[in-house]
Amino acid sequence: MFAVEYATLFDLINPGLAALDLPIPLGGTSNHFRVETLRRVGAWDAWNVTEDADLGMRLAFAGVRVATLASSTAEEAPVVFASWFRQRVRWQKGWMQTLIVHSRRPLCFAGALGRCRALAALALIGGSTLGGLCGPPLFFAAVWRAVSGQLAAASVWQITGDLAIYLLAVSGLMTMAIPGLTAMRRRRIAARPSILATLPLYYALICVATWAALFDLAIRPHHWAKTEHGLRRIRSAGRPIVQGPKRGRPISI
């Protein structure tokens, strides 16, 4: 799942954002900067737990062009679920911090980026956050009304809203599966049916992590849940843990 997600992000999404000259929340593993540019935008925010994503937004505000390189960086995926969950909570919390910091003055936000670029940034950062928080409750509420018979007595507006939620749920599954399949094909990752069948479960776990991140943001906003690295040589079930590479790494120019 981690390999498919990374292939989708670094082989499809980031190169697409760069080609359209849209803001890119940077990934922290392998970035290349001009030092004078980095200093001009204030370098990294020590209080943001996804300082790379925040820096990507500040580069966009400063009018710095970010491009991707056709290269790969080996990335070690979390070995156990607990490590993955803590990492994901930190990532989601950092994206919330980035959204709060940069959109607290909406008019300045839109003016600095331009309408289209500001909308793209909100859709990417805000959409992933709000989708993780609001998507599951809305979907299960709509399903409950359908299976419990409440939909028959609902108003036209309620029925229209439920149909919109069903449509969003189906389109959401498509936006998971189609880019994932494309990225797997480009990376020559074996498209096993079990991988595709469990994609919704994987994203459901991300939704759980998003809610945990919201509480973590309120209680300890600057706590950094460290991810343990250097475990490539650990063997699981008699086989070495194989990590997939990243491609299309961002570079600010």
Residue-wise pLDDT tens digits, 123-149: 888 888 888 888 778 777 777 777 776
237: pLDDT strictly greater than 50 = no
Mean pLDDT of the chain: 82
12: pLDDT strictly greater than 60 = yes
Contacts (Cβ under 8 Å, ≥6 apart) of 130: none
- State in Å, rounded, how far the first CA of the chain is from the last one: 32
Give the helix/strand (H/E) hosting 76.
none
Burial, 61: exposed, middle or buried (Cβ in 10 Å; 0-12, 13-18, 19+)? Answer: middle
214: pLDDT strictly greater than 90 = yes
The beta strands (E) that lie in the chain are given as 66-74, 235-236, 239-240, 245-252
DSSP string, 22-57: ------SSS-B--HHHHHHTT---TT-TTHHHHHHH
**pTM for the whole structure:** 0.81
Cα gap 33→49, rounded to integer Å = 20
Total number of domains constituting the chain: 1
Q: Which domain holds residue 107?
A: 2-252
Of residues 26, 5, 4, the one with CA closest to residue 249: 26
Partners of residue 32 on adjacent β-strands: 251
201: pLDDT strictly greater than 60 = yes
211: pLDDT strictly greater than 90 = yes
Cα gap 205→136, rounded to integer Å = 11
Pick 144 or 229 by higher pLDDT: 144
